[in-house]
Amino acid sequence: MKTIRLGTSGPQVSQFGIGAMSFAGIYGDATFAESHAVLDACRAAGATHIDTSNVYGMGRSEEIIGDWFKQRPGARADIVLATKAGIARGNERPRNNDPDYLEACLDESLTRLGVDHVDLFYIHRYDAAHSPEDVAGTLKRLIDAGKTRAVGFSEIAPSTLRRAWTECPIAAVQSEYSLSTRAPELGLSQACAKLGTTLVAFSPVGRSFLTDAPFSHARAQSHAFLANNPRFMEPNYSANITATDRFRRLAADMELPAAALAIAWVISRGKHVLPIPGTKNTAHLAELLRGTEVTLTAEDLDRIEAVLPVGWAHGDRYSDVQWQGPERFS
């Protein structure tokens, strides 16, 4: 398993992590046993990064991970653990970066996780009621309090990252990044590389489009998020299946699962890029992990680009409602 440094001075971490929203999130819940099996397989493979949030299942994902730590003495020492806060569900104020609110959320997360600190604490959604500098100052105080070792932001613009960095080193920025969503190449990836910030890529297999078993339209319609996501609405859905069929054929020609090829592509974007796919089952995890063993050549990358050129996806990655919170940039 390849490793990279988290931020400029953080721990070495595998260049692959598990996104734990799949344990309790927008695609439904997994059982404790299913989730623990995924975590066990990650640990056995040397994947040392677990990413979760206080809003995944309203704390359920963190509880699952906390129970896994409890049942596996010594596992915590092997893991670089991240969680997030800043989304205020069921509140007239959907994003809240107030210092007291963030610290209270982190304290609750630590209780659910059964730990005294996390290795990385993110602002899940930036709240423009505060300046980036002020939010970074809040995060620095949480480091000083010993509740997190490093800090990050999710779904922000490069300009916000640069401003936050003036107050506190930002170890990681999380953003959707895959062959189907390449917006980070419009400055965010470059800013991360320059500052020494790790770019943590969520949804690296395009919410299933870049796998050998993409969600059926019927299954997508059974999940509220996907049912209202432009890429999973007709006629976009069928057009995206047709487009990614070319990628699946290419992966088969290369004797790889499509998911493995998608992960290998993300890793090829730079030593500062860390994909965090999510899954509920160990068979799919094995396909994802296969991607960490692949080094793509220039010819391989050209072939991928030929079947899925920049801008191939039909429909925006979010609906108007889903865009409330993430920062757009160009």
Q: What's the whole-number average pLDDT of the chain? A: 96
What residues pair up with 173 in beta bridges, in sequence order? Answer: 153, 199
- As a whole number of angstroms, the distance between CA 190 and CA 120 comes to 21
Q: Are 263 and 227 in contact (CB under 8 A)?
A: no
Dump pLDDT digits (tens) for 182-239: 999 999 999 999 999 999 999 999 999 999 999 999 999 999 899 999 999 999 999 9
Q: Are 148 and 167 in contact (CB under 8 A)?
A: no
Query: What confidence score (pLDDT) does residue 93 get?
Result: 82
Mode of pairing for the β-strands spanning 24-25 and 80-85: unpaired
Q: Are 24 and 30 in contact (CB under 8 A)?
A: yes
Dump pLDDT digits (tens) for 36-91: 999 999 999 999 999 999 999 999 999 999 999 999 999 999 999 999 999 997 66
What residues pair up with 50 in beta bridges, in sequence order? Answer: 18, 81
Tokens of 236: 């976009």
Q: Which of 27, 56, 126, 177 is catalytic?
A: 56
Task: State yes or no: pLDDT of 167 exceeds 80.
Answer: yes
Query: What confidence score (pLDDT) does residue 235 get?
Result: 98
Query: What confidence score (pLDDT) does residue 28 get?
Result: 81
Task: State yes or no: pLDDT of 12 exceeds 70.
Answer: yes
Query: What confidence score (pLDDT) does residue 26 get?
Result: 82
Mapping DSSP onto H, E and C, the string for 160-216 reads HHHHHHCCCCCCEEEEECECCECHHHHCHHHHHHHHCCEEEEECCCHHHCCCCCCCC
With a pLDDT cut of 70, the percent of the chain lying above it is 99
Q: What is the pTM of this model?
A: 0.96
**What superfamily does domain 3-207+257-296 belong to in CATH?**
NADP-dependent oxidoreductase domain (3.20.20.100)
- As a whole number of angstroms, the distance between CA 73 and CA 284 comes to 26
Assess whether 177 carries a catalytic annotation: no
